[in-house]
C-alpha cells in the first residue's frame, strides 16, 4: 500500500475516532455532569478540545506496529483525557456499544442525525422532569 493511502486512511480514522468519542462523551459525561467544560454543557454536546491522552497508549502502539503514525487515535475530548481509569473504562464500554449500533441499526443515520436525537432526548427529559 502506498504511503498516500495510509494518510487518507489515517485522516478518515481520525475523523471517525473523534466523532465516536464525542458521541460517547456526550451521552455519558455531559448529562451526568462528569464534564466540567461549560461550552459542552451549554450546547448539550461534547465540543471541548481534543487532547493527547495516556489512555490511548495501547491503541497508538498497535497502530505503529502496522506501519501507521498512531496519531489518528492519540487524542480524546478534554473530559476523557483527564478522566480516571474507571471513568475511562465506563465510557469506553459505551463507545463500543455506540460503534456497534452505528454499524448496525443506525447505519443510515449521519453523525449529526445522532447528535440531534441525543439533544432532543435531553430536552424532553428536562421538559418532563418533576418540578419542586
Q: Is the separation of the CB atoms in 7 and 98 below 8 Å? A: no
Residue-level pLDDT at 69: 81
Question: What are the beta bridge partners of residue 76?
Answer: 51
Q: Provide the domain limits for residue 10.
A: 3-127
Report the C-alpha gap between 123 and 68 in whole angstroms: 41
132 in any annotated domain? no
**pLDDT reading at 131 higher than 70:** no
Whole-structure pTM value: 0.73
53 in any annotated domain? yes
Band of pLDDT at residue 123, cut at 50, 70 and 90 = low
How many independent structural domains does the chain possess? 1
105 in any annotated domain? yes
Residue-level pLDDT at 1: 45
107 in any annotated domain? yes
Model confidence over 24-56: pLDDT tens digits? 888 888 767 788 888 888 888 888 899 888 888
Model confidence over 79-120: pLDDT tens digits? 899 889 998 888 888 888 888 877 887 778 887 787 777 777
Report the C-alpha gap between 23 and 124 in whole angstroms: 18
Model confidence over 48-81: pLDDT tens digits? 899 888 888 888 888 788 787 877 788 899 989 9
Amino acid at each position: 500500500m502506498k504511503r498516500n493511502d495510509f494518510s487518507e486512511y489515517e485522516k478518515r480514522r481520525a475523523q471517525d475516532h473523534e466523532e465516536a468519542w464525542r458521541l460517547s462523551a456526550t451521552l455519558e459525561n455531559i448529562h451526568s455532569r462528569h464534564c466540567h467544560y461549560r461550552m459542552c454543557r451549554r450546547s448539550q454536546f461534547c465540543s471541548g478540545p481534543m487532547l493527547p491522552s495516556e489512555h490511548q497508549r495501547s491503541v497508538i502502539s498497535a497502530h505503529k506496529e502496522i506501519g501507521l503514525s498512531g496519531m489518528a487515535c492519540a487524542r480524546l475530548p478534554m473530559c476523557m483525557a483527564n478522566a480516571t481509569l474507571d471513568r475511562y473504562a465506563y465510557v469506553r464500554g459505551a463507545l463500543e456499544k455506540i460503534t456497534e449500533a452505528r454499524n448496525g441499526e443506525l447505519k443510515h443515520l449521519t453523525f449529526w442525525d445522532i447528535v440531534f436525537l441525543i439533544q432532543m432526548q435531553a430536552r424532553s427529559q428536562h421538559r418532563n422532569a418533576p418540578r419542586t
